[in-house]
Amino acid sequence: MRKRIPFLTLMLIFTVLNSASGEETKIIIEGDPSPTYNQIHEFTVSAEGELVNGGKSHFRVYDKNTGTTIFENLIILDKSYVWSQHIVYPSFNENQTYVIEVKNGNYVSNAFEFTPVRDIQQEIEILTLESQWIFEHQAVKFKHVGGKIKNAQFDKEDRTISFSFLQGTDGYFRIEIPRDLLNSFEFCKETDFEVLLNDNPIEYSEDTSDNITRILQVNLVYGNFGTLEIVGTHALMSLDEIKGEACTNTKVDTSNPRYIMIADVNDKEGISLKNVVDYEDDLEYLHIIGEVVNNQDKAIEYVRIVVALYDQSNNILDTDFSFSDVQIIPPYGKSPFDVTFTGGSSGVANYKLETEGRETNPLPMGLQLGRPRIFTDDLGYVHVVGEVRNKGDTTANYVKVNGILYDSSKNLIGVDFTFTEFSDIYPDQSSSFELTFSDVLGEPASYELYVESQEYGMIYVKPIQHQETSEEKPSEEKPTTAQETTPSLEQTPSSKSGGCLIATAAFGSELAPQVQMLRETRDNIVLKTQSGSSFMTTFNSIYYTFAPTVAEWERESSFFKEIIKVAITPLITTLSILNYVDIDSEAEMLGYGIGIIVLNIGMYFVAPVFLIMKIRRISS
């Protein structure tokens, strides 16, 4: 009788024989355990021995710390398989460990671990892959028709994305920007980006943006090339964070951009001074700067700020005054000012400020300020560049841009003004400007601007709490005043730096070229020398005893104003000589100064006497 071998025994023998003759099945994963962030890396899966299920295997990548699956797929493992992956956010975070694991039936691979690291050199490099860039872990998608893009970068400090490209044919540039990367959002509402091509503002259209992405399209024409910049208001902030920041103060007027120079809802009613600070410049001139606020429904003009300096015993050391930079401060507007004393800086314990202005009719709103841009150069000077458009019906003459600079705590750290590149702007035309703050007292964070010409003021919306005021009536020219006493640095000075009252009244505006020439000659030439400063001290002590009275007579009588205009024109002409000569020493200043004084004595006194004597001889 034949003995049967049990089935289990046969299976055991088969398994032993198979293992002795065959190869053990292994699944091995290899790759770089420290792949560089923002690059493509390959991980190889290879098999040794026989696989089951025709090689069908489960491929999985997961976070080692949390076990969260990052990527998984069913793959066919035929001896080897290559997983090529772009190591970028949000799938992967730098310096965080991930595990690759492959299963084929009961066969499990080694647990391959990798930790992405960032190459320091790549902090300033941008990856271009399949029509997208990766900025700060976020993908910016684009489509560019008509040329080749060379480079791109993101500046979170300036809130700007820049593109360097070559444009050979007509086309367009379409870009999808994640809101968390760059957004433009002010005063509780979405606003336009500033788009610049080679530093010049250009128009763009915005496509179907949503709560995650802003989509912009810029049309380009043949010959455009260089740098395209997209400037926003917020960088690396979520939409909720931006809205929370923009809407914290519910009293803020949502109709004006933050860079418009208007009164704050918490300012005192009427005319007042605030944000007064003092400093010494490189020439040891004492500057007392601040803001004049006109928080009322009337415009004011001829706003004069008077400063008196005192020592520790409260004895007056010196006084001086200047006018507000804005000639006619509109209702609920404000203006910077700068009262400058030349000379030394010792003995000043405190100072007192007073201001007065006269009510007048506001200038019609006609000047529109385009969204400006701020940057700091290598010398530390702060620049604000932008564009002014004339929306009025007539030419805007002598367009002046007044600016105030603030730090992050809204403390005033600089004031200045400039004029547009074209002093006259025709209706519906624009002109650019560049306002440079050379004296900056802190780290700039924001700025405010006001634009005016002889004909127009700036277009703005009155603060919300004032919009229901009665219509503006013609002014009765009532004087308004304000006072403020402020502690000072230990400084003392002695000279004067006010405006030329007689010339301003004669030519109708501080923006008139004759008045500007006088101011620039005084500040940039005469006061740069000791002899010139001494002369101005003596001259001003006499001039300001009668100048306010003469200026007032000019305003009251147009005939008298024309007489004064004719009378001072030769004087202004002779003073303009100083703008065409080089004065590099005290001796040269004295020489030219004495020469001009003698020339004016000859014109105003000697020549008339000689003419009178000549007439009398003829008549006799």
What is the secondary structure of 19-36 as a DSSP string? HHHS---EEEEE--SSPB
For residue 126, pLDDT over 70 is answered with no
Q: How confident is the model at residue 326 (pLDDT cuts 50, 70, 90)?
A: very high
* Under 8 Å between Cβ of 488 and 529: no
Residue 207 scores a pLDDT above 80: no
Q: Domain 21-114: give its CATH superfamily.
A: Macroglobulin (MG2) domain (2.60.40.1930)
Angle at 410 between CA 408 and CA 416, to 5 degrees: 105
In sign, the C-alpha dihedral spanning 267, 252, 258, 394 is: negative
Backbone angles phi, psi at 286, to 5 degrees: -90, 125
Question: pLDDT tens across 348-368, in order?
Answer: 888 899 888 888 999 999 998
| pLDDT tens per residue across span 500-555 | 778 877 876 665 678 778 877 887 788 777 787 778 777 876 876 777 778 778 76
Q: Rounded mean pLDDT of 380-390? A: 89
- CA atoms of 76 and 56, how far apart (whole Å): 5
> What pLDDT does residue 493 have?
32
pLDDT mean over 490-494 = 32
| Residue 333, pLDDT score | 92
Quick one: how far is CA 153 from the chain centroid? 19
Model confidence over 399-437: pLDDT tens digits? 999 999 998 888 999 999 988 988 789 998 999 999 999
- Burial string for 466-481 (b: 16+ CB within 10 Å, else e) reads beeeeeeeeeeeeebe
| Mean predicted confidence (pLDDT) in 328-345 | 86
* Domain residue extents for the chain: 21-114, 126-241, 256-498, 499-620
* Joined tokens for residue 346: 């010792």
pLDDT at 334: 94
Q: Is the pLDDT of residue 63 over 70?
A: yes
The answer to whether 21-114 and 256-498 have equal CATH topology is: yes
**Quick one: pLDDT at residue 606?**
82
CATH for 256-498, options being 1.10.3720.10, 2.60.40.10, 3.40.190.10, 2.40.170.20: 2.60.40.10
Residue pair 218/202 in contact by the 8 Å Cβ criterion: yes
Contact 403/384 with Cβ under 8 angstroms? yes
Separation between Cα atoms, residue 351 and residue 244, nearest integer Å? 40
Mean pLDDT of the chain: 79
The β-bridge relationship of strands 160-178 and 213-220 is: antiparallel
What CA–CA distance (Å, rounded) separates 171 from 396? 36
Name which of 296, 379, 369 is nearest 334 in CA terms: 296
For 321-342, give the secondary structure using H, E and C.
EEECCCCEECCCEEEEEEEEEC
pLDDT at 473 over 60: no
In DSSP terms, 328 is beta-bridged to 301
pLDDT of residue 135: 84
pLDDT score of 310 more than 60: yes
In 3D space, the residue among 132, 100, 76, 135 whose CA is nearest the CA of residue 28 turns out to be 100
d(CA 589, CA 592): 5
pLDDT at 169 over 60: no
Q: Note whether 267 and 293 are within 8 A (CB).
A: yes
**The pLDDT of residue 413:** 93
Structure tokens at 25: 């099945």
**For residue 254, pLDDT beyond 70:** no
User: Is the pLDDT reported for residue 613 higher than 80?
Assistant: yes
Report DSSP letters for 545-602, one per residue: HHHHHHHHHHHH-HHHHHHHHHHHHHHHHHHGGGGGS---SHHHHHHHHHHHHHHHHI
Cα(616)–Cα(620) distance, integer angstroms: 6
Q: Any bridge partners for residue 608, and if so which?
A: none
Task: Measure the CA angle with vertex 49, ends 48 and 52; round to 5°.
Answer: 115
Residue 18 has what pLDDT?
46
Of 429, 428, 493, 420, nearest in space to 452 by CA:
420
pTM of the model: 0.46
Q: Between these two residues, 146 and 111, which has the higher pLDDT value?
A: 111
Question: What residues pair up with 202 in beta bridges, in sequence order?
Answer: none
* Backbone region of residue 459 per phi and psi (left: phi > 0; alpha: psi in -120 to 50; beta: other values): beta
- Coil/strand/helix, residue 67: coil
How far is 528 from 282, CA to CA, in rounded Å?
Answer: 12
Cα maximum dimension of the chain: 178
604 three-class SS: helix
Residue 274 has pLDDT above 80, yes or no: yes
Where is pLDDT greater, at 66 or 451? 451
